[in-house]
Structure 1
Amino acid sequence: MRSLKSRIVGTLVVLFAAVGAADAGASYWLSMKHIDELLDQHLQGAAVWLSAGKVGTIGTIGPPQHSIDGFVGQIWKRGLSTPTDNTDPDVTFNRDAPGGYSVERINGHRYRLYTLRKDTDDLTYQVGQPIAFREQTAGRAALESLVPTVLLILLVWIAIPLIVNAAFASLKRASADAETVGIGRLTPLDISQVPEEVRPFADSINRMIARLQVGIDAEKRFIADAAHELRTPIAALQLRIDNLENAPDVTARGERLRELREAIVRTATMIRQILELARADAQQDPGAAVDALDVREMVRTLVADLLPIAYARSIDLGVRRFDATHLNADAGELRMAVRNLVENALRYTPAGGCVDIDVFEDATGAVIRVTDTGPGIPEEALGRVFDRFFRLNAETVEGSGLGLSIVKSVVAKHGGSISLENRRDGQSGLVATVVLPSLVMAIVDG
């Protein structure tokens, strides 16, 4: 495909050539017409001049070879068969030609003739001019009038590429700047000299570069935070291994082996959540399969999986409102997000507490709500709990600080929202509410 610049130059050259050709044709025709009218006026003026007795000033011995402008003048007197005066004896006009302008063929040549009759002196004055001479004169003058037009067309043909190249020079500079853009250099393009027509596209490129910069900065922070957070569990693993090697007896070895297993589980959990967060942060693939998900069935399975954990911690885990709810979502990701919400509630709820799950649809969409009887979150910390690796009571409560970050990323990816608020029904605890676009499905029994 040809470049935009080549197409613009080609189009303008062809367009101006067509306009120039039309203008030249019109100029040529108008010049011929005006010169023909001017020569007619000269014919009429010569006849008037002849009637004023200026016979000697019209022609010399005979046109067109012996007369400057090819005029032939004749004077006829009523009753005579030959003219009394004739500037060219070889040419004799028809004295009975109509008054005014007419065309006659004489000696094989066509003449443009003007006839003037004066009844006061019984004389007829005729002035003629060879049409070939008139056409030659008019054609030469018309062609000369085309010289400026032809020169203008040539100049414009030369100017068009120069002007277009100058207009595209700023785009070349922007393109050269774009070639230098990379992961290590995400500098916005200089679009101060870019034409207005291209500015929206250039602005969109700069906005894309800004988004990439934000994303890359976030990834760098995430990697740095993950590396920092992983140092502690890895160091703990190394310490547990050293302790295991130095165990004095079988009982101590068994205790230290149990501690090592717990440390391995915590490290594996953190690594799993880091991978889950990376997956949740990935943009939705337009071609990825999206499931028509039965939320109630998903929660039922999830509760069954987490009941042993709740039982071990003496926490009552169950559901309250449990309506039929369906939506389009990636089943694996949504299950991961809800699981993180419930695990977070179980982690912070003390023994003897309660964690309830509600599933229903309302005007806002499909709602999944998790309510616990834990200590809640201080109001000043509510805005930070979605930050990665942020943990409340890090000294007393295990966790990586990634659970809520994963939930927020998954929910945002599916076009939903999540909110956290402390309970206001007289009990301590937290209410986490996820709202997602719902799908009304007709279920037909087979």
Structure 2
Amino acid sequence: MDGGSPMITSLRGRLFAGLTAIILLTGIIGGLFAHRWAFNEAIEMQDSVLIQIAGLVQTGSLAGGRDLHGVDEDAEVWLIDQAATAHDTEYESRLWKLKDGFALATRKGQPIRVLMQTRHDGTRFAVAQRTSMRDEIASDMAFRTVLPIAALIPCLLLVTAIVVARSLQPVVRLAGDLDGRRADDMTPLPTGQMPSELHPFIASINGLLQRMRGLMEQQRSFVADAAHELRTPIAALSLQVENLDPVDLPLRARDRVAALRQGVGRIRHLLDQLLALAREEAGKADAATMPVVKLDDIAKEVVAELLPEATNRGVDLGFAHVDSAMVRGDPMMIAAVVRNLLDNAMRFTPRNGRIDAYVYRGSDAAILQIDDCGPGVAADEIGRIFEPFFRGQRPEGDGSGLGLSIVKRIVDRLGGAIEAVNLAEGGLTGLRVLIRLPAANF
């Protein structure tokens, strides 16, 4: 069974469809009653006109001859007077046989409404009106009565749509708030500006967020404890591997020791990244209360630390541009940002390649830019490179997939922004990572 159309399955669509049906049904029923009432009122008004004309004839204010004379041309009302009739026709003979009062008769093959009256001297007269004309006048008046109701229905539908949309606006804002949050943002949803009908729903969501926060804290604690406990045996294993260097081993054994050293190094790097991630997630300091540091000095220190490794890899690492830039943040956190970016760039930069670092000072932001000449990132993956443990289709080197995730979390905590774009200039490829941090002054 399919979910149906969005108009039917959505709450807004159901409210609008239900209210539309009520308005249309009420309008149709009300219009029918109004049309019937106005039609009958018009008929009664025309009967009143016939009575008034008959009163004028009875008092002698209006006289009639043998022939029918138009008294009201628009309404086609006629008067025939028996006293002025020279001879009787078959129609008039039947007419005089009618009793006093209203009756239906036929004149020249057309039905008419007749009011018969008798004078004091015994003579009679008739006031008549064609039935089709009476119905036409009554229908026109009834239509004029129903017309405002028909015009009001679209206005009511428009007002209903606006009211429904505005009534559900808090739900839309609530959904937007949830969609715009980071995955690790477990802040309770506010209830102050929300309708009371949504309070139970919001309370349930807040309860779920609280339980998820507890689970995430347990996960973080487990990761930090596990990484911390594993550092000691990994350090001992690494020491034992280093002790094998002076030992005279066969070539095949040395190859295996080199592979073992590489694996131990990769595990140690992963543990360091996990501990860094745990420390960053556990940090609660607000960026506004952090000290002011020089981004360019920290970047220079990190580049100096990594130069030997870059030289061993055959990578030209250096600065293409450096401005003096002040930012607020913990020096270790900012150093971790620069180190992880450069480490990621070196892992993907081929031998004899180059990595250019930039530090700019903008009007309201300090910018750190790292360009490499590696293969770049697939277009369908570039939006995911900041996710934890994501390594893409080209998981090269000993990376753990946590470096850029740690960078993203630190930059978010410092109130900055980060983006990654592929480079394609002059036939060269590469990846550019650009970080903007709020500038600070002493």
TM-score (structure 2 length as normaliser): 0.47
Larger Rg: 1
TM-score (structure 1 length as normaliser): 0.46
